[in-house]
Structure 1
Amino acid sequence: MNTHLEPALDKVLLEPLVQAALVEDLGRRGDVTSQATIPADKQAKLQIRARQAGVICGMDVARLSFAAVDEQIEFVAQVQDGERVTAGTVLAIVSGNARHLLTAERTALNFLTHLSGIATATQQIVDSVAEYPAQITCTRKTIPGLRTLQKYAVRCGGGRNHRLGLDDAILIKDNHIAIAGDIQTAIKQAQDFAGHLIPIEVEVDTLEQLQLALDAGVSLVLLDNMSPDTLSEAVVMCQGRAQTEASGGITPETVQAAAKSGVDFIAMGYLTHSTTALDIGLDFSA
């Protein structure tokens, strides 16, 4: 169990996502296959089961997927978000009108498999760098409309969230610097704008840029696409002056090398745009 898991997302955030997914799936005529093959009053009991080991995420959104189709469906969870499971583990037992169960099946599983895949990959990466101080964070490279859920899945896997949106913090990147004129001008303008309530981070590509950023007085630097050796040099330069975050194409194969440099954070777009769904199925119980 992930003992540091934050509270589950409120259903007011989840219900619009579930409704949109169901509307997309039901189309103009609804579930014609279930209508054609299953008597209207037929009852059934099914099990949601993990077909491979992993970390579970999305139990609430799965439950809401069934409830949105039929409030009378009973959803009995056997695990909770953030829990590690083995292949064959029953995640939930759902029972009620058979047509309605099958109508909600794919929407519930789409959420569960995708989010559990993110949580599983995050946990594996967090475990792989556990001996180092670096904390694993996600990015804004998310599927439009699903960012809240995807970032929640990262937390379920033991990771941390970077910005949820553009309004969270000021992150000065290469294009901001280019348009502003130079890195010091961009930082000065950001400091004048932010006051004391908005954090400022600046992206640097070289140690020369890093020195300029440190001299300007930033407290967090994003070290973009630097080699492990350069990252190590950057960490030494930043000690006592700024926190460090490695970023730029970091994968499960390269994350340990980045962590060894001593950075405080490692930002990985991989977590939300390249992970594989966890295999989860809905099985009929005779």
Structure 2
Amino acid sequence: MTLDPLPDLLVQPIIRTALAEDLGRAGDITGQACVPADARLTADFVARRGGVVAGLACIRLTLAEIDPTATVEALSADGLVAPAGSALARVSGNARAILTAERTALNLLGRLCGIATLTQDYVDAVAGTKARITDTRKTTPGLRALEKYAVRCGGGVNHRFGLDDAILIKDNHVAACGSVGEAVRRAKAFAGHLVKVEVEVDSLNQLQEALAGDPDVIMLDNFELADMREAVRIVDGRLPLEASGGVTLETVREIAETGVDVISVGALTHSVRVLDIGLDAVEG
């Protein structure tokens, strides 16, 4: 699949912070020492391992911060599968600038491609069921927008982006309120007409209590498969059911086959393997 990249305005502050961290107080002293100021370079960003592409804009935006005159030619697109050994983008410009921007661009691109690739693995694992794979808020601080974009590149969908765009009642909220029912009642009274209320339950008894409060979504937290199937039977399509907790590639298919609507997977962003991508100079 392909999709529109994130707006530059959203990504630029992330890149500027990363570059400032890398440049430190004196800039790229290796480049200053070894590379003539007027040297030119053409190089390709190459996938050492096959995977789903995500975050190509990071190359362009990182290089633009160092050399606004540099050119970036995209050779793939976000959401596409890149075979091992394929070039994702070609850059041309001042050699010092490209080498200075290299690591920041690779760090972001590799992580985002890794997230997209892992997401696609989960999506493929539940193919043929109605379940959709979604992320969580277990993201790298400062990178949430980029990481959730990468999930979409891999065919997943996004859960809430933060604490302010949906109400999600967890076990500690229930403890503070005294019961699932009371927590749902308070949330429904507080929520505006565009704000959804989801409640986490950890037993079939809590499920029944939650249903009485008429939430918009119910999360089945660490349910056994038999209880999950029973929850699907009880709810009978009245509202979406989300399965969560300890989901792996080995277990996600059988979870999906219980009939739940959504499966949230924190590992998409908190346990991702970065896709190996390198920068190779082009001769000639």
* TM-score range normalised by the length of the shorter chain: over 0.9
Q: Deviations over 1:175-221 (max 9, x none)?
A: 11111111111111111111422100000000000011112212310
Deviation at 1:240, TM superposition (A): 3.1
- Where in structure 2 are there 5+ consecutive unaligned residues? none
What is the SS of the residue equivalent to 2:263? strand
Who is 2:56 aligned against? 59
**For residue 259 of structure 2, what is the amino acid of its counterpart?**
G
Correspondence for 2:230? 233
The counterpart of 1:131, out of the listed 128, 131, 135, is: 128
Whole-Å separation in 2 of the counterparts to 1:99 and 1:73:
11
2:220 counterpart (208, 217, 223): 223
In the alignment, what sits opposite 2:83? 86
Contact 2:5 2:55 in 1 (8 A): no
1:98 matched residue in structure 2: 95
| 1:258 alignment counterpart | 255
Q: Which amino acid aligns with 2:121?
A: Q
Report the equivalent of 2:275: 278
The reply on whether 1:22 has 2:10 as its aligned counterpart is: no
Deviates further, 138-147 or 245-254: 245-254
For 2:190 and 2:65, the matched residues in 1 are separated by 45
State the Cα distance separating 1:251 from its structure 2 match.
Answer: 1.4
d(CA) in 1 for partners of 2:232, 2:270: 28
Q: Is the 8 A contact 2:50 2:81 kept in 1?
A: yes
**Superposition misfits of 4+ residues, deviation over 4 angstroms:** none
- Unpaired runs of 5+ residues, structure 1, are none
Q: Deviations over 1:74-103 (max 9, x none)?
A: 111111111111011111111111111100
Q: Does 1:213 align with 2:217?
A: no
User: Residue 42 of structure 2 aligns to which amino acid in structure 1?
Assistant: K
1:246 to 229, 243, 246: 243
Aligned mates of 1:109, 1:202 — CA distance in 2: 39
Which residue matches 2:9? 12
Larger displacement relative to structure 2 (15-24 or 213-222)? 213-222
How far is 1:254 from its partner?
1.4
Per the alignment, residue 190 of structure 2 pairs with: 193
What SS does structure 1 have at the residue aligned with 2:43? strand
**Secondary structure at the counterpart of residue 232 of structure 2:** helix
Instruction: State whether residues 67 and 97 of structure 2, in contact with CA within 8 Å, keep that contact through their aligned partners in structure 1.
Output: yes
User: Which amino acid in structure 1 is aligned with residue 248 of structure 2?
Assistant: T
1:50 and 1:89 in contact (8 A); partners too: yes
Report the AA paired with residue 49 of structure 2.
Q
* Corresponding residue pairs, total: 283
Aligned equivalent of 1:122:
119
Q: CA deviation at 1:63?
A: 1.0
The aligned runs of 1:160-179 (5 Å cut-off) are 160-179=157-176
- Which residue of structure 1 aligns with residue 179 of structure 2? 182
Percent of paired sites with the same residue = 54
3-state SS, counterpart of residue 17 of structure 2: helix
User: Are 2:30 and 1:33 aligned?
Assistant: yes
Letter in 2 for 1:153: A
Residue 150 of structure 2 corresponds to which residue in structure 1? 153
CA contact (8 A) 1:214 1:242 kept: no
TM-score by length of 2: 0.98
Give the alignment's TM-score, normalised by structure 1: 0.97
Where does residue 265 of structure 2 map in the other structure? 268
Q: Distance in 2 between matches of 1:248 and 1:240?
A: 22
Task: Give the Cα separation in 2 of the matches to 1:186 and 1:8.
Answer: 38
Name the CA distance, whole Å, in 2 between partners of 1:48 and 1:197: 43
Q: State the secondary structure of the residue aligned to 2:273.
A: coil
Given residue 38 of structure 1, which amino acid in structure 2 is its aligned partner? V
